[in-house]
């Protein structure tokens, strides 16, 4: 799950729908939860549901969501407590992908408390709904299929990368790394990072492409590989 930086907004919105252009300009047309690219009908999602006392018109309570994540989440969280959120936490550290069977899993390297908190987020928006998994998606819910297709595309890109990656002198090498990064902008940022996790040059191109175009959050303490935890965040 891509960690995002919405920044601050001084605008006063008469209707929460008025914030859509500002949000998509900042975050892109992607679901903040499942990471699916949403070209049409992306929705503004109230992190703290208005039904449960959340602010209807405040920028800090907005994220972008696909119809499926938004519908499943509904009013089921009382507030922000007890969950990780992509606008507060380094949510890209929460999940892994088993490249053999294309299943989203919670990282076992997390503390037990953080695994439980991640599981609550998974359940809240139904991220683990797969056919024949015991948690069936609806017929209309294609998040699982698009995630698997993104994984297949990323794996094929990796196989092609392996043909050129050791040819350090070739100018085509970094051109291809950049093309992989641009392809990753179709959606599912975390999958591309997982597939190329051991390919530093490609990872840097992916992060550069996303950060230049959209407001990813991936900051490190100077001179270390330790990630900065934002105020209000838990990981």
The secondary structure of 172-192 as a DSSP string is: HHHHHHHHHHHHHTTS-HHHH
The answer to whether residue 87 sits within a structural domain is no
Mean pLDDT within 165-183: 93
The answer to whether residue 121 sits within a structural domain is no
CB atoms within 10 A of CB 16: 18
**Mean pLDDT across the chain:** 93
Question: Number of folded domains in the chain?
Answer: 1
The answer to whether residue 228 sits within a structural domain is no
- Tell me which of 5-14, 93-102, 122-131, 174-183 is least confident: 93-102
The answer to whether residue 1 sits within a structural domain is no
Check residue 9 and give its pLDDT: 85
The answer to whether residue 186 sits within a structural domain is no
In this prediction, what percent of the chain has a pLDDT beyond 90? Answer: 78
pLDDT, tens digit, for every residue of 22-72? 999 999 999 999 999 998 889 999 999 999 999 999 999 999 999 999 999
Q: CA-CA distances (angstroms) from residue 95 to 51, 104, 152, 198?
A: 29, 7, 18, 16
**Which domain covers residue 62, as residue numbers?**
16-73
Considering only residues 144 and 10, tell me which one the structure prediction assigns the higher pLDDT: 144
Mean pLDDT within 113-129: 95
The answer to whether residue 52 sits within a structural domain is yes
Split at pLDDT 50, 70, 90, the class of 215 is confident
Check residue 54 and give its pLDDT: 97
pLDDT, tens digit, for every residue of 63-113? 999 999 999 999 999 999 999 999 999 999 998 876 555 567 899 999 999
The reply to whether the predicted model has a pTM over 0.85 is: yes
The answer to whether residue 116 sits within a structural domain is no
In the block, tokens 């605008």 appear at: 11
Report the C-alpha gap between 145 and 70 in whole angstroms.
Answer: 18
How far does CA 151 lie from the centroid of its chain? 14
The answer to whether residue 3 sits within a structural domain is no
């Amino acid at each position: 799950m891509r960690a995002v930086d919405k920044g601050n907004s001084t605008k006063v919105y008469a209707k929460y729908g008025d914030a859509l252009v500002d949000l998509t300009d900042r975050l892109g047309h992607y679901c903040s939860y499942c990471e699916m690219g949403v070209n049409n009908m992306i929705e503004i999602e109230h992190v703290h549901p208005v039904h449960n006392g959340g602010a209807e018109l405040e920028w800090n309570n907005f994220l972008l969501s696909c119809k499926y994540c938004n519908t499943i989440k509904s009013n089921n969280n009382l507030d922000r407590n007890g969950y990780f959120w992509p606008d507060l936490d380094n949510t890209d550290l929460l999940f892994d992908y088993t490249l053999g069977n294309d299943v989203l899993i919670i990282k076992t390297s997390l503390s037990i408390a953080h695994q439980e908190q991640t599981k609550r987020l998974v359940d809240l928006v139904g991220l683990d709904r797969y056919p024949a998994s015991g948690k069936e998606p609806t017929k209309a819910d294609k998040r699982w299929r698009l995630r698997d297709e993104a994984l297949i595309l990323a794996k094929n890109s990796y196989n092609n990368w392996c043909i050129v990656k050791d040819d350090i002198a070739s100018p085509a090498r970094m051109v291809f790394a950049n093309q992989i990064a641009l392809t990753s902008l179709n959606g599912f940022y975390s999958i591309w990072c997982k597939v190329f996790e051991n390919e530093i040059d490609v990872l840097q191109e992916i992060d550069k492409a996303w950060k230049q175009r959209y407001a990813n959050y991936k900051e490190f303490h100077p001179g270390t590989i330790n990630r900065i935890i934002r105020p209000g965040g838990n990981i």
